[in-house]
Structure 1
């Protein structure tokens, strides 16, 4: 049922304080006018949907405005909670575990390994594929970034990450079984 817009302006001016009343009762601070706008829209929809045989317009205004403001409070609270959860998750991801530089991959613990001992490296390299050997050599020994290795080898960064993942898996199993080199 479409009503006269000019009549609504008069009714709005008479009932505008209802919005402020409900904002005050709900303890809403509204520096950006979001809640006031929601209250105005609630009043407009209540005016458009009002059926006189169901009760007074003022009661319907109060009911509609209050419930719309509560819904907006819930929405904003949920949005803030979701944002906070996302930030906490990203912080945990960024600082989780043993990381080096921009890499999200854990670095290999090389304590106890003599970098000059050729026999030890020969045994380690014998476990690995050629690509995994490249990852160990460039990433661990030469301290190159994943991006630099990818550019040098003409592959994607994801491919280099996969080389490292597979190499670490083999090295962990080797060191776990043999208790070192």
Structure 2
């Protein structure tokens, strides 16, 4: 069945809806991720819309809002998982006493970099320091997600090993 309006026309008439819902949900969107998700939701709503079930505007509002909420939930869950992982790994990382100061941080990073291979350092820098997802690192480095995970696994082993060696020296 052909649609009376093209998506481009519908988009021009309704693009403010996406901004409205981002604002209404009080979302920060510096990288336009929520806007993109809202645009995808609008496209899906446009494709699935059935005029017999109600006004298009209502369907757009419902679909966009719920897609944005789903993305927010996913990001929140990912953030919690990442924090839980970091909390679980904290005891395995070398303990500095007293805590590392801002001025000592470059030296600590140099030490970590000297322990790791080039690929392991890429994982550490992008995943740990910048918080990039594995998929983005893989795309940036033109490799597979599995390869990036392997770099991380090997790097964590080296960092754990360092911690245990220091413990043995203290005892």
For 2:17 and 2:80, the matched residues in 1 are separated by 29
Match in the other structure for 2:81: 82
Q: Pick 1 or 2: higher relative contact order, CA cutoff 8 A, min separation 6.
A: 2
Gaps of 5+ in 1: 111-181
CA distance in 2, matches of 1:44, 1:81: 30
Change over 3 Å in CA distance of 1:78–1:2 after alignment to 2: farther
Indicate yes or no: 2:164 matched with 1:104: yes
- Cα displacement (A) at 1:108: 8.8
Are positions 1:51 and 2:50 aligned together?
yes
Shift of 1:3: 4.6
SS at match of 1:30: coil
Using the TM superposition, give the Cα deviation of residue 109 of structure 1 relative to its aligned residue in structure 2, in angstroms: 8.6
User: What is the RMSD computed on CA atoms of the aligned residues?
Assistant: 2.6
Decide whether aligned partners of structure 1 residues 50 and 74 sit closer, same or farther in structure 2, where only a CA change above 3 A counts.
same
Q: CA deviation at 1:47?
A: 0.4
Query: How many aligned positions are there?
Result: 106
Deviation at 1:94, TM superposition (A): 2.3
Q: Within 5 Å, give how 1:1-181 maps onto structure 2.
A: 3=3, 7-95=6-94, 102=162, 104=164, 107=168
Q: CA deviation at 1:33?
A: 0.6
1:63-91 deviation digits (Å, cap 9, x = unpaired): 00000000000011111111111111111
Q: Return the offset for 1:103.
A: 5.3
Aligned structure 1 segments of 4 or more residues deviating by more than 6 angstroms? none
**Structure 2 alignment gaps of length 5 or more:** 96-160
| TM-score, with structure 1 as normaliser | 0.52
- Calculate the TM-score normalised by the size of structure 2: 0.55
Structure 1 distance, partners of 2:89, 2:82, is 11
Which structure has the highest helix share of the two?
Answer: 2
